[in-house]
Amino acid sequence: MSPLHICLLFSSALFCIGLVGALARSNTILVLLGIELMLNAANINFIAFWRYGPNHADGTGIIFVLFSIAVAAAEAAVGLALVIAIYRHRQTIRLQEANTLKG
Amino acid sequence: MIISAQHLWLIPALPLLAAGIGALTPRGGRSLSAGAAIAAMVAAFILSCLALRTALIDPAAHQTFNFAWFDLGHGAVRLGFLLDPLTAFMCVMVTFVGALIFIFSTGYMKDDANFKQFFCFLSLFAAAMLGLLVANSLLLLFICWELVGLASYLLIGFWFHKPSAAAAAKKAFITTRIGDLGFLFGILWLYDARGTLLFFDGGHGVLEAASLSAMAGTTLSCGLALSTAIGLLIFCGAVGKSGQFPLHVWLPDAMEGPTPVSALIHAATMVAAGVFLIARVYPLMSADQVLASVPVHALTVVAFIGGITALMGACIAVAQNDIKRVLAFSTVSQLGYMMLALGVGSWVAAIFHLLTHAFFKALLFLGAGSVIHAAHHEQDMRSLGGLRGPMKTTFATFAIGMMALAGVPFLFSGFWSKEAILHAALEWDVSILPLIMGLAAVVLTAFYMTRLVAEVFFGKARSHAAEHAHESPATMTIPLVILAACAIALGFLGTPAFPWLQAKLLGEAEVHGHSLLVGAGLMGLSIVLVALGLGAGWAIYGRKLRQSATAKDPLETASPPLFAALAARLGFDELYAATVGRANLAFGALSAGFDRYVLGGTISFLTRFAHFTGVVSLENDESGLNAGFNATSEKLRGAGQSYSKAQTGDAHGYLRVLALAFVVLVLLVVLGGGR
C-alpha cells in the first residue's frame, strides 16, 4: 500500500467518524466538532494529493489548506457564537430543539 | 547512549505521548493516566541528563538539527532543535521538578473526579514546555509558547465550576495574549528582515554575527536600531508570560488552579519561559550595545521593568493574606529579579536564579499545598496557625524553602543566585536605580516570608480545620524532602569561588573561580538587609502572635491607608477595568450603535423606499392585472406550502439528506467507472 493510500484511508476514517458524530449527536457543539473533523479529513486529502502528486514543488496544496484552516477558524467562531446565542435564549443546545425556521 | 541534537525531539515527545494516553483512557483509568505521565517524565529526565552530558563535552558549541517543515514560494519554512548548555540545564530542571510535582499530584488530587484529565493536561503542558526549550527556531518556540499558554488556561480553569477559576483562566489567557501580539509582530518583522527564524544555522541564523551586525546597523526612522525594536517586541511576549509589570495582573489570579499547577506552571517553569526566551535571544537583545547614540538600549528597558516588578511584587506580597497569593506575588518579584539580571547584562545570573528559584519556589508551593490539603482547603493564613506541631516534615521543608527565598546566607541556594544578580547590577554603569530596587526587595522578601511562616506555623490554631490538621501522605512529603535538599545543594553549583554553572552556560571549558571576598562589601550589605527583614518580621509577627482569625494585622494598625492600598494590589485590576475594560466596552457599544443606526438605518431606508414603490404599483395592479394573477398565485402558494414541508428546521435532517446524497454520488461515480 502506497503512502497515498494510507493517507486516503486515514482521511476516510476521519471523515466517517466526523459524519457519524455530526449525525448522531444532539449536542450542537459536538455536531460542530463532527463537521470540523470532516473538514480536516478533506484538508488531509488536499495535502496527500499535493505531497504525492505530480506537482510537489509548487505550494498549491498547502496554500489551499492554509486558506481552508483560516476559513474553518472563522466558521468555528461564528458557529460557537451562534450556539451561545441559542443557549442564552432557550437554555438548551440540543439541536433538535432549535427548529424555529421550519416551514 | 549519546543524545545529540537530532534526538532532542524525544524529550518533548514522551510527555506528549503520555498526554495522548491520558486523553484516550476512560474516566476510570486513573492509575494508567498518572502512571504514563510520571513514567514519561522520568524517561524525559533521563534523556535530558544524557543531553546535558553531551552538551557539557563542548559547552561553547551550539549543536543544531534543522529540517524543512514545508516549502513555500522560493524558500522553505525551516524548524530545528538546538542543544547547548542553556537548553540542557533547563530541560533537566523542568523534567526533574515536573516529575516530583507529578508524584505530589497523585496525593493532592486523589479525591478529584477529573483525576485522569488532570494528568493529561499536565503532560500536555510538560510536552509544550520542553518543546519550547529545545526549539532552534523562533517559530517552533512560538508554537510551543502558545501551547503552554493553552495548558495553563486549561489548568487554571481546572475547577471551572468555580466562577472565580473560570474568570482567572480567561484573564490569564487574554492578558498573556496582549504580550504575545507584540511577540508575534517581532517574529514577523524579524522574518521580514532576515528571511529566517532559525537561531543558529551555520552562520545564517538570526543569533549569529552576520545577522546581528546587520540588524544593529540598520537604523529606523525613529532613531532606534532595528535590533532594538525587534528585541523590545519580543520582550513584550516575555512581559506577558513572566508576569512583569504592567502585565503581572494575571499571575496572582492564576492561583485559582490546583496547587501543584501553581507550583509547576506558575512558579517553576512556564512563567520562567519569558526569562528563558530573553536569555535565548540575548545576542539579539544586546546587539545594540555597540551603538552609543541610540535613544535607548533594549536591555535598559528590560532592567528597569525587572527592577520595578521586583520591588512592586515584594511590596504587595507584604499585605496579602492568602498563603498562595503571597507566594504568587513573591514569584512576580523573583521573576523581576531575573529580568533585572538580564537587563544589566548577566544572563547567566538570571538563569542561575531561574534554576534555584524553580526548586525552592516549587518547594514552597508544594509545602503550601500540603498545608492546604491538611487544613481542608483553608488558604487564609489568618485562619491557619500552629501547624508546626502536627506537620513536622512540611514545616521543616517549608522553612528551608523560605530561607532560600529570603536569601539567608551561605547555606541556601537563593542567597548565591541573588548575590550574583546584585553584583551584576552593581557593575552596571547605566543607572544605580535597579540595584537600589533590588536591595529594597531583599528586605521586603525576608520580611513577608517571616510573616508567612509565623502566621501559618507558629502560635495556636485559629480555626477548626487547622486544629485537626495532620501530616500529608508520603507521596506528598517525599517530593518536599527531595526539593528541600535541592534548594540547599543547588547553590553550590554557582558560588563565586567555583562558578561551575556560569562557566558552562557561557561556554567556557575551564572554571575560573575567584575569592569569595570579591565584592564582599555588597554581600555584607545584603546579609545585613536580610537580617533586617527577618528581624523586623519576627519582631512584628513572631513575638506577638496572632490570637484570632479576625484580629487586625499589626501593619494595618500602623498605617491603614498604605496597607489597604497594598492589600488591594495597588489597584491595578481596578485601573485596567476602568481604562482597558471601559474602552473595550465603549468600542463594543460604538460598534453596536453603528450596526443599529448606520447599517440598520440604511437598510430601513431601502425598505421604506421599496415599500413606497410597492404602494405606487399596487394601485396599478389592483385596477387591472390582478384577477388573472390571483389564480396563478394560489396555485403557487399551494405548491410552496407543500415544498416548505421539506424545510423541517431540523439540522440533523438536512445533514442526513446531505450524507445520503453524498453516498449516492459516490455510488454513481464508483458504478459509473469514474466517468
CA-based nearest distance B647→chain A, Å: 5
Residues from chain B that touch A26, judged by Cβ atoms under 8 A, are: 652
pLDDT computed for residue B131 by the predictor: 92
ipTM of this complex: 0.76
The CA distances from residue B644 to B158, B476, B654, in Å, are: 47, 66, 13
Q: Which residues of A touch B (CB under 8 A)?
A: 19, 22-23, 26, 31, 57, 59, 62, 95-96, 98-103
Q: Judge whether residue B470 has pLDDT over 80.
A: no
Q: Judge whether residue B147 has pLDDT over 70.
A: yes
Which of B24, B69, B70 is the best residue to mutate to test the A interface, defined by the most A CB atoms within 10 Å of its own CB? B70
**Greatest distance between any 2 Cα atoms in chain A:** 52
Q: Do A103 and B647 touch (CB under 8 A)?
A: yes
- Cell representation of residue B8: 532532542
pLDDT computed for residue B1 by the predictor: 66
Output DSSP code: residue A27: B
Which chain A residue has its CA at the smallest distance from B654's CA?
Answer: A23
Please give the Cα distance from B152 to B507 (Å, whole number). 33
Please give the Cα distance from B269 to B392 (Å, whole number). 28
Number of Cβ atoms within 10 Å of the Cβ of B116: 25
Residues from chain B that touch A64, judged by Cβ atoms under 8 A, are: none
Q: Judge whether residue A66 has pLDDT over 70.
A: yes
Q: Do B646 and A103 touch (CB under 8 A)?
A: yes
pLDDT computed for residue B513 by the predictor: 64
pLDDT computed for residue B25 by the predictor: 84
Please give the Cα distance from B191 to B578 (Å, whole number). 37
Q: How confident is the model at residue A89 (pLDDT cuts 50, 70, 90)?
A: confident
pLDDT computed for residue A11 by the predictor: 94
Which of A23, A57, A100 lies at the smallest CB-CB distance from B652? A23
* Interface contact B74, partner A, CB < 8 A: no
pLDDT computed for residue B673 by the predictor: 67
The CA distances from residue B651 to A99, B640, B660, in Å, are: 8, 20, 14
* pLDDT tens-digit map of B273-294: 999 999 989 888 888 877 777 7
Greatest mean pLDDT range, B206-215, B400-409, B455-464, B600-609: B600-609
B246 cis-preceded (ω within 30 degrees of 0): yes
pLDDT computed for residue B70 by the predictor: 76
CA-based nearest distance B660→chain A, Å: 11
Please give the Cα distance from B103 to B479 (Å, whole number). 7
- Cell representation of residue B118: 488532570
E strand spans, B538-593: none
pLDDT computed for residue B549 by the predictor: 67
Q: How confident is the model at residue A74 (pLDDT cuts 50, 70, 90)?
A: very high
- Element of type H or E holding B64: strand B63-72
Provide φ and ψ at B388, rounded to 5°: -60, -40
B276's CB contacts (< 8 A; 6+ apart) are B86, B90, B132, B133, B351, B354
- Cell representation of residue A34: 463532527
Please give the Cα distance from A83 to B244 (Å, whole number). 37
More confident residue, B118 or B646: B118
More confident residue, B381 or B186: B186
- Cell representation of residue B600: 440598520
pLDDT computed for residue A6 by the predictor: 92
- Cell representation of residue B528: 545585613
- Element of type H or E holding B392: helix B392-406
With pLDDT > 90 as the criterion, what percentage of chain B qualifies?
14
Q: How confident is the model at residue B630 (pLDDT cuts 50, 70, 90)?
A: confident
Q: Do A103 and B645 touch (CB under 8 A)?
A: yes
pLDDT, average across residues A35-40: 92
Q: What is the CATH number of domain A3-90?
A: 1.10.287.3510
Which chain A residue has its CA at the smallest distance from B73's CA?
Answer: A59
- Cell representation of residue B139: 517559530
Amino acid residing at B388: R
- Is residue B383 a contact partner of residue B456, using CB atoms and an 8 Å limit? no
Please give the Cα distance from B48 to B164 (Å, whole number). 37
Residues from chain A that touch B70, judged by Cβ atoms under 8 A, are: 59, 62
| Helix, strand, coil percent values for chain B (each to nearest 5) | 75, 5, 25
3-class DSSP state of B505: helix
Q: How confident is the model at residue B516 (pLDDT cuts 50, 70, 90)?
A: low
pLDDT computed for residue A69 by the predictor: 92
What is the overall mean pLDDT for chain A? 87
Rg (CA), chain B: 30
Output DSSP code: residue B7: G
B222's CB contacts (< 8 A; 6+ apart) are B295
Residues from chain B that touch A31, judged by Cβ atoms under 8 A, are: 651-652, 655
pLDDT computed for residue B517 by the predictor: 58
Amino acid residing at B77: V
DSSP secondary structure, B650-667, as one string: -HHHHHHHHHHHHHHHHH
Q: Judge whether residue B390 has pLDDT over 80.
A: no
- Least confident range from B14-23, B255-264, B399-408, B548-557: namely B548-557
* Interface contact B670, partner A, CB < 8 A: no
Provide φ and ψ at B395, rounded to 5°: -65, -45
CA-based nearest distance A18→chain B, Å: 11
- Is residue B28 a contact partner of residue B113, using CB atoms and an 8 Å limit? no
CA-based nearest distance B658→chain A, Å: 10
Q: Judge whether residue B99 has pLDDT over 70.
A: yes
Residues from chain A that touch B73, judged by Cβ atoms under 8 A, are: 59
Residues from chain A that touch B641, judged by Cβ atoms under 8 A, are: 103
pLDDT, average across residues B572-590: 86
User: Cell numbers 489548568 correspond to what residue?
Assistant: B155
* Interface contact B671, partner A, CB < 8 A: no
User: Taking the domains of chain A in order of start, what are their residue ranges?
Assistant: 3-90
- For the CA atoms of A5, A41, B151, B273, the dihedral, rounded to the nearest 10 degrees, stands at 60
Number of Cβ atoms within 10 Å of the Cβ of B384: 26
pLDDT computed for residue B462 by the predictor: 75
List the beta bridge partners of residue B380.
Answer: B322
Q: Judge whether residue A41 has pLDDT over 80.
A: yes
A77-94: burial string, b at 16+ Cβ within 10 Å, e else: eebeeebeebeeeeeebe
pLDDT computed for residue B512 by the predictor: 67
Q: Judge whether residue B211 has pLDDT over 90.
A: no
Q: Do A57 and B71 touch (CB under 8 A)?
A: yes
Which chain B residue has its CA at the smallest distance from A35's CA?
Answer: B655
The CA distances from residue B364 to B251, B254, B323, B327, in Å, are: 16, 16, 10, 8
Q: Do A59 and B72 touch (CB under 8 A)?
A: yes
pLDDT, average across residues B32-49: 90
Q: Judge whether residue B543 has pLDDT over 80.
A: no
B423-447: burial string, b at 16+ Cβ within 10 Å, e else: bbbbebeeeeebbebbbbbbbbbbb
- Cell representation of residue B545: 502572635
CA-based nearest distance A20→chain B, Å: 10
- Cell representation of residue B190: 524579524
User: Cell numbers 504568587 correspond to what residue?
Assistant: B328
* pLDDT tens-digit map of B250-265: 888 888 888 888 888 8
3-class DSSP state of B135: strand
pLDDT, average across residues B373-388: 77
Residues from chain A that touch B646, judged by Cβ atoms under 8 A, are: 103
B258-279: burial string, b at 16+ Cβ within 10 Å, e else: bbbbbbbbbbbbbbbbbbbbbb
Q: Do B73 and A59 touch (CB under 8 A)?
A: yes
How many Cα atoms within 13 Å fall on the side-chain side of residue B635? Answer: 4
Which chain A residue has its CA at the smallest distance from B642's CA?
Answer: A103
B153's CB contacts (< 8 A; 6+ apart) are B169, B170, B172, B173
List the beta bridge partners of residue B80.
Answer: B66
pLDDT, average across residues A47-63: 81
- Cell representation of residue B213: 551586525
B116's CB contacts (< 8 A; 6+ apart) are B22, B25, B27, B28, B29, B30, B32, B33, B34
DSSP secondary structure, B514-536, as one string: --TTTTHHHHHHHHHHHHHHHHH
The CA distances from residue B140 to B49, B91, B129, B191, in Å, are: 23, 16, 11, 13
Which of A31, A59, A102 lies at the smallest CB-CB distance from B648? A102
Please give the Cα distance from B66 to B6 (Å, whole number). 8
Question: In terms of Cα–Cα distance, which of B351, B305, B370 is closest to B332?
Answer: B305
Residues from chain B that touch A65, judged by Cβ atoms under 8 A, are: none
The CA distances from residue B618 to B26, B304, B609, B634, B636, in Å, are: 68, 76, 14, 18, 20
CA-based nearest distance A43→chain B, Å: 15
CA of residue B174 relative to chain centroid, distance: 12
Please calculate the CA angle B659-A92-B121 and round it to the nearest 5 degrees: 80
- Least confident range from B126-130, B387-391, B398-402: namely B387-391
The CA distances from residue B519 to B256, B335, B407, B419, B516, in Å, are: 42, 24, 17, 10, 8
Q: Do B650 and A99 touch (CB under 8 A)?
A: yes
Q: Do A102 and B647 touch (CB under 8 A)?
A: yes
E strand spans, B139-259: none
pLDDT computed for residue A103 by the predictor: 64
What is the overall mean pLDDT for chain B? 84
Question: In terms of Cα–Cα distance, which of B357, B316, B319 is closest to B337?
Answer: B357
- Answer positive or negative: Cα dihedral of B380, B386, B391, B395: positive
Which chain A residue has its CA at the smallest distance from B662's CA?
Answer: A19
